[in-house]
Amino acid sequence: MLYQRYFKNGQRLLLTARDRPEDDGRIELLTASMQGGEGDVFILSLPYSDDATEQYPFVAGMTFEVSSEALGLGIRVTGSIEQIIDGKRIALKINPDLQMFQRRNKPRLDCTLGIRFTRGQGTLKALRSTWEKNIQILQAPNAPIKLEGFNTCLLNLSSGGIRFVLRAPVNYAELCLMLIDLKDDKPPLCTLAEVVWTHPEQDESIVTTGMRFINILEADQKRIDRYITNAN
């Protein structure tokens, strides 16, 4: 199959981990870019740090869905880790299951909510670990509904990501661990997000930033969808 027709060098890709149990309820994504390959092998580069492959628990045979856009449609294919090449690159063995699909835009909402966040560059492993610990705490029967230290922010929210203003500088693929209070009489949700685009403002000290949620519970995505539906 001529994958190169749809996946080209430099193209940004989204990797979705496929090795989790079906009832796990966790969404886990990574960003990568196409860096070559031959036949049914993709060479992918990770943007997070020079030791990104050590920051994430890659093992041989681990499977991912690879998705992007081509010819105006979404495209996806599955594959498994064939080799960890170096600190930034992996080789993915691709399966003959290429699909094209119509992308659906997730509903979004401009709103004002309380958030807490920690920014991190090159700290994927540490922030993923903190996310795991936080969701265990927030899912516990005695989890506190209200926490201290939230700042009220104007933001644009969907179940797939968030847009709001950060202090400059902001870098592509920079990570942000955040707690969001949806004001639904439940504990705040926790998600790990990454920067996918930025837009400078007249005030050079701030940057409007678009982020994708790369670690989030499916249940929390549904909470966001309900919040948006109820607000409209």
pLDDT digits (tens, 9 = 90+) for 158-191: 999 999 999 999 999 999 999 999 999 899 999 9
Quick one: 109-231 is in which CATH superfamily? predicted glycosyltransferase like domains (2.40.10.220)
Closest Cα partner for 76 from 105, 99, 103?
Answer: 99
The architecture that CATH gives domain 3-101 is Roll (2.30)
Average of per-residue pLDDT across 46-52:
93
How much is the pLDDT for 14?
A: 95
Q: Do the Cβ atoms of 170 and 125 come closer than 8 Å?
A: no
How much is the pLDDT for 21?
A: 63
Summarised one tens digit per residue, pLDDT across range 117-145 is 999 877 899 999 999 999 999 988 888 77
Instruction: Name the pLDDT band for 45 (thresholds 50, 70, 90).
Output: very high
Ranges in the chain annotated CATH 2.30.110.70: 3-101
Q: Do the Cβ atoms of 74 and 98 come closer than 8 Å?
A: no
Closest Cα partner for 74 from 98, 97, 94?
Answer: 98
Cis amide bond preceding 21, omega within 30 = no
CA distance 100 to 69: 9
Residue 181 to residues 7, 144, 150, 209, Cα–Cα distance (Å) = 38, 12, 8, 19
Q: What is the mean pLDDT of the chain?
A: 91
How much is the pLDDT for 105?
A: 79
How much is the pLDDT for 10?
A: 93
Higher pLDDT, 143 or 81: 81
Instruction: Name the pLDDT band for 147 (thresholds 50, 70, 90).
Output: confident
Higher pLDDT, 183 or 104: 183
Please state, for a pLDDT cut of 70, what percent of the chain lies above it.
97
How much is the pLDDT for 71?
A: 66
Ranges in the chain annotated CATH 2.40.10.220: 109-231
CA distance 17 to 78: 10
How much is the pLDDT for 106?
A: 85
Average of per-residue pLDDT across 96-120:
90
Higher pLDDT, 32 or 204: 32
How much is the pLDDT for 1?
A: 59
Residue 68 confidence (pLDDT) above 70: yes
Residue 154 confidence (pLDDT) above 70: yes
